[in-house]
Amino acid sequence: MTTYRLDLSYDGTGFHGYARQPGQRTVQGELETALARVVGKVETVVAGRTDAGVHARHQVVSFAADRPVDPEILVRRLNGILTDEIVVFGSSRVEDSFSARFSATSRTYRYTILNRSFADPLLRSTSWHVPDSLDVAAMQEAASALIGEHDFASFCRRAEGRSSVRRVLDATWGREKDLVELWIMATAFCHQMVRSIVALCVEVGRGRVPAGRVSTILEALDRSAAKGAAPAHGLVLWDVTY
């Protein structure tokens, strides 16, 4: 068996998330169907499962195959099978111990908000339109309270038997003209964590929640204490480091 790493990007608009699901079109389903035609049936391991509508600039997948293939040929053949919604831009043979998920040391996400009175049809699938005025400095104060290791139960969908303790390495809000963006890096994220952080920070930016309350919400360990989740389409898995 030979272990391979794939580096890919995708537009998540037309997929029901990354993870394979019966009767649903998913990134994993499309990728593994294409892989089966090139190297035989395999099961992939992914750096970060993305939800329906979430995009990836740089996703990483690993798999083991009993049929060797040249990495350059693998990239070319996969891209010839896949639609242009998924693009494989790198492939390499790696050590058998390599896991796209467990070998990763951090993941970085970007969330984009279009912050002006009118929407932009060219950005509708990659940003959340928020027409209200946003105080980005207050949003940064709110995000800064989340840096470090915490139990993010207030910001995650509960997964029975799984810990919601995560370590956030950096969280930075910035504005470039009409675009307000969050860049957030953590060793790992739990389900809907980034989107929930964005939703609460936007409420802070609107002036509806004081930035100082974020620590209290975090400590509550109660999903109902936060403010739901921002739309999926504004979120991009930006990078994975090893």
Q: How many CA atoms lie within 13 A of 118 on its CB side?
A: 3
Q: What is the pLDDT of residues 185-210, one digit of tens each?
A: 999 999 999 999 999 999 999 999 99
Its pTM stands at 0.95
Give CA separation, 180 vs 110, 128, 235, in Å.
10, 10, 12
Reply yes or no on whether 51 is catalytic: yes
Q: Which is catalytic among the residues 11, 51, 120, 132?
A: 51
Asked, for residue 100, whether it belongs to a domain, the answer is: no
Domain shared by 49 and 123, yes or no: no
Alpha carbon distance 174, 22 (integer Å): 39
How confident is the model at residue 161, as a pLDDT? 74
User: Coil, strand or helix: which one is 155?
Assistant: helix
Question: Alpha-carbon Rg of the chain, whole angstroms?
Answer: 19
Q: What is the pLDDT of residues 10-68, one digit of tens each?
A: 999 999 999 999 999 999 999 999 999 999 999 999 999 999 999 999 999 999 999 88
Domain shared by 119 and 213, yes or no: yes
Domain shared by 185 and 229, yes or no: yes
Alpha carbon distance 21, 74 (integer Å): 25
CATH label of the domain that carries residue 113: 3.30.70.660
How confident is the model at residue 227, as a pLDDT? 84
Domain shared by 90 and 112, yes or no: no
The residue segments making up the domain with residue 118 are 106-241
Q: Give the residue from 94, 129, 149 where a domain finishes.
A: 94
Q: Provide the residue type at 49 as one letter.
A: R
Domain shared by 177 and 66, yes or no: no
Asked, for residue 144, whether it belongs to a domain, the answer is: yes
Instruction: Please count the structural domains in the chain.
Output: 2
DSSP string, 45-112: EES-PPPTT-EEEEEEEEEEESS---HHHHHHHHHHHS-TTEEEEEEEEE-TT--TTTT--EEEEEEE
Paired strand residues for 106 = 241
How confident is the model at residue 158, as a pLDDT? 77
User: Coil, strand or helix: which one is 211?
Assistant: helix
Q: Give me the helices (H) in the chain, please.
A: 27-39, 71-81, 136-144, 193-206, 214-220
Domain shared by 76 and 180, yes or no: no
Q: φ, ψ for residue 142 (rounded to 5)?
A: -65, -45
Q: Which residue is associated with the tokens 């409420």?
A: 203
Mean pLDDT, to the nearest integer, of 120-138?
97
Q: What is the pLDDT of residues 106-125, one digit of tens each?
A: 999 999 999 999 999 999 99
CATH label of the domain that carries residue 8: 3.30.70.580
Q: What is the pLDDT of residues 60-113, one digit of tens each?
A: 999 999 988 999 999 999 999 999 999 999 999 999 999 999 999 999 999 999
Asked, for residue 126, whether it belongs to a domain, the answer is: yes
pLDDT at residue 6 above 90? yes
Q: What is the pLDDT of residues 140-185, one digit of tens each?
A: 999 999 999 999 999 998 777 789 999 999 999 999 999 999 999 9
How confident is the model at residue 144, as a pLDDT? 98
Decide: 154 and 199 in contact? Cβ < 8 Å.
no
Asked, for residue 101, whether it belongs to a domain, the answer is: no
Domain shared by 79 and 128, yes or no: no
